[in-house]
Amino acid sequence: MYRSGVIMAWNVFKFCTALRGLGSIMILLVLGVVGVSYYAVVITNYGPALTAGGVDTLQALSVLISFHCLLVMLLWSYFSVVFTDPGSVSSSWRPTMDEERGDADPLTASEFQSDTESRGVRYCRKCNQLKPPRCHHCSICGRCVLKMDHHCVWVVNCVGALNYKYFLLFLLYTFLETSLVALSLLPHFIAFFSDGEIPGTPGTLATTFLAFVLNLAFALSVLGFLIMHISMVAANTTTIEAYEKKATPKWRYDLGRKRNFEQVFGMDKRYWFIPSYSEEDLRRMPALQGLEYPSKPDLPPQEF
């Protein structure tokens, strides 16, 4: 029994590692959906309508401008999540009793309860290093991630302290873009089942039908994830911490909705809806994410 249990655990770990390869396929899938949608909206339906004149031209122009603006923001946010390190633990990090107290910074909470006071210093046996508060080990990435939310195969990366904003914007612009595509193709979808004659080749009609179904499905599914993550931002919690929060009378990281939001999106309102931070927020980034922990030189384990 023991031996079979060990084999099962080993197989599960290997399965998690194999998810890295699956992520590359998911990126191609995302680009494939974008390509099908672009072909159906721009090339097949609304691009040719620009020369129709009158109301049809104005309608096509408004759809195409909105489509391309949202597409740019979607891809910008998506690749920001893919290529941004979610946050790693410095080998020189050492905890102190007041590590989560920072009254001088407007985004750190003096009412935070220190992990060193409540649960003791955590240690990751896989990474062979100490773990800051809100840090978790990702078996897929093979390392500890700061303020880890989850590992997302869609972006081939962990979602953590430094790219969580980009992930939320990716969800937002994906929902807006897929909703726009579904609504703009809805008349063509209805005409697909009508008795009247429909212009276009069988190939273009099939592409329009496929694009509508895919975008409608993505819009409905992403909406659920977006609502869930907005509620977690409002409470300053992560997907991993959600169950822990339910068992805690007062969540120690909750600073109030406004400051919780600013901790993720930054204090400069001009940057809230783009996958970037202002220079001031970048300088404040460790404290912004509740990660400004004093570091000390490496010490023998028995000294702390």
Average pLDDT of span 269-291: 81
- Tell me which of 209 and 16 has the higher pLDDT: 209
Q: Residue 152 and residue 20: Cα distance in Å, rounded? A: 10
CA distances from 203 to 7, 44, 60, 106, 191 (A): 50, 10, 21, 57, 15
When mean pLDDT is compared across 13-27, 33-47, 200-214, the lowest value belongs to: 13-27
SS3 letters across 4-64:
HHHHHHHHHHHHHHHHHHHHHHHHHHHHHHHHHHHHHHHHHHHCHHHHCCCHHHHHHHHHH
Specify whether the CB–CB gap between 282 and 104 falls below 8 A: no
Average pLDDT of span 194-206: 74
Average pLDDT of span 66-75: 97
Percentage above 70 pLDDT, the chain: 76
pLDDT of residue 20: 60
- Max mean pLDDT among 30-34, 43-47, 176-180 falls in 176-180
Q: Closest by alpha carbon to 124, among 114, 113, 106, 136?
A: 136
Average pLDDT of span 228-233: 95
Q: Is the pLDDT of residue 222 over 90?
A: yes
pLDDT of residue 113: 42
Please, how many CA atoms are within 13 Å of residue 279, restricted to the half-sphere of its CB? 0
CA distances from 100 to 53, 60, 104, 240 (A): 62, 53, 12, 20
Mean pLDDT in the chain? 80
Q: Residue 263 and residue 269: Cα distance in Å, rounded? A: 12
| Residue 152 among the catalytic residues | yes
| Contacts of the segment 118-122: beta carbons below 8 A, 24+ positions apart | 121/95, 121/304
| Contacts of the segment 278-284: beta carbons below 8 A, 24+ positions apart | 284/105, 284/107
Q: Residue 22 and residue 194: Cα distance in Å, rounded? A: 40
Fill in the DSSP letter of residue 105: S
Q: Is the pLDDT of residue 293 over 60?
A: no
State which amino acid sits at residue 205. L
Task: State residue 151 phi and psi, 5-degree precision.
Answer: -95, 125
Q: Is the pLDDT of residue 180 over 90?
A: yes
Instruction: Quickly count: other Cβ atoms within 10 Å of residue 4's Cβ.
Output: 8
Q: Residue 203 and residue 80: Cα distance in Å, rounded? A: 34
Q: Is the pLDDT of residue 279 over 50?
A: yes
User: Helix-strand-coil percent breakdown of the chain, rounded to 5?
Assistant: 55, 5, 35
R_g of the chain computed on alpha carbons: 24
Instruction: State the pLDDT confidence band at 221, using cuts at 50, 70 and 90.
Output: very high
- Among residues 141, 144, 152, 158, the one annotated as catalytic is 152
pLDDT single digits (tens) 71-130: 999 999 999 999 999 988 877 777 764 444 444 344 433 333 444 344 567 888 888 888
Q: Residue 271 and residue 75: Cα distance in Å, rounded? A: 17
Specify whether the CB–CB gap between 38 and 30 falls below 8 A: no
Q: Residue 134 and residue 292: Cα distance in Å, rounded? A: 12
Q: Is the pLDDT of residue 31 over 60?
A: yes
Average pLDDT of span 204-232: 94
